[in-house]
Amino acid sequence: MSRNLPSAVASAVVAAVVNVRFFGEFQFASGTVRLWTGAGSKIWNAQTWTGAGDFAGISPVDETIAGGAAGLLFTLSGVPASTLAIALADNYRGKPCKLWLAIVDATEAIVDTYQLFGGRMDVMNIEDAGNDSRIGIQAESRLIDLTRPRSLRYTDAEQRRLFAGDLGLEFVAKLAEKALHWGVPGAVAPAYGGGGGDANDYDN
C-alpha cells in the first residue's frame, strides 16, 4: 500500500546505503518512556530520548492489503533492576505507544522521520535471569478497535450516561410492549387525543 513519505525519507530508502534509527514512545501511568536505537541521549521533537543501542529489538512492521490490524513486539534486553521494578508495578495495558523511522546522516543527525506505528500496549513479558533481564511489550494497532463489538444500547440509562439530562429515550422501555392501534376498527382512542376527529372515529 502506497504512502506519502516525506521527500527526504523516500530518497533515502532507495539509496545504496541507508542509515536508519527507530524512536519508540511508551506512555506508562507513571510517565512517558522514550527510547531510540542509538547511543546516548538524543534531542528530537522537543523531547529527550534515551539511547537503547543494540539492546533494543522491534518486530517487522506488517500491513495487510485488507487493512488488517497487525501488532508489533518491542523488546529490550539488559534492563537494570530499577527499570524492571517499574515495569512490574506500573499500569501499562491500553496505554498509547508509537514508533518512528528516522533517517540519519553519518554524524547521527536526523534528516527526516516517518511514523510507522501507533497503537496501545497490550501484554508485557518479563524474563529475569539474574544479571540480565529482558522485557517484551506486545502492542496492538489502533485498527483493532474496528473489530471490537460495541455494547451501546438504545436505553434511557445509556443515553443519560452519554448525555446527562437528555430525556430523548425516557419512554423507550414502555414503547417496547406498547400496543399501537392505527387505523384498526374498534380500537380505543388514546386518552390524550389529537388534532382533528374524536374517539368515535375509531368505531367507523
Above 70 in pLDDT, residue 101?
A: yes
What mean pLDDT is predicted for residues 93-122? 88
pLDDT digits (tens, 9 = 90+) for 109-141: 888 898 888 888 988 888 776 666 788 888 887
pLDDT of residue 47: 94
What mean pLDDT is predicted for residues 18-32? 87
What mean pLDDT is predicted for residues 83-89? 72
Beta-carbon contacts of 156 under 8 Å, excluding residues fewer than 6 positions away, are 167, 169, 170, 171, 172, 173
d(CA 9, CA 18): 10
pLDDT digits (tens, 9 = 90+) for 176-197: 777 777 777 766 655 554 444 4
Strands 47-51 and 31-36, by their bridges, are parallel
Rg (CA), the chain: 29
Taking CA atoms, 37 is separated from 3, 50, 58, 124, in Å, by 24, 9, 10, 20
DSSP 166-182: --TTTTHHHHTT----S
pLDDT digits (tens, 9 = 90+) for 2-15: 457 777 777 776 66
What is the model's pTM? 0.62
Question: Residue 11 is placed in which grid cell?
Answer: 530518497
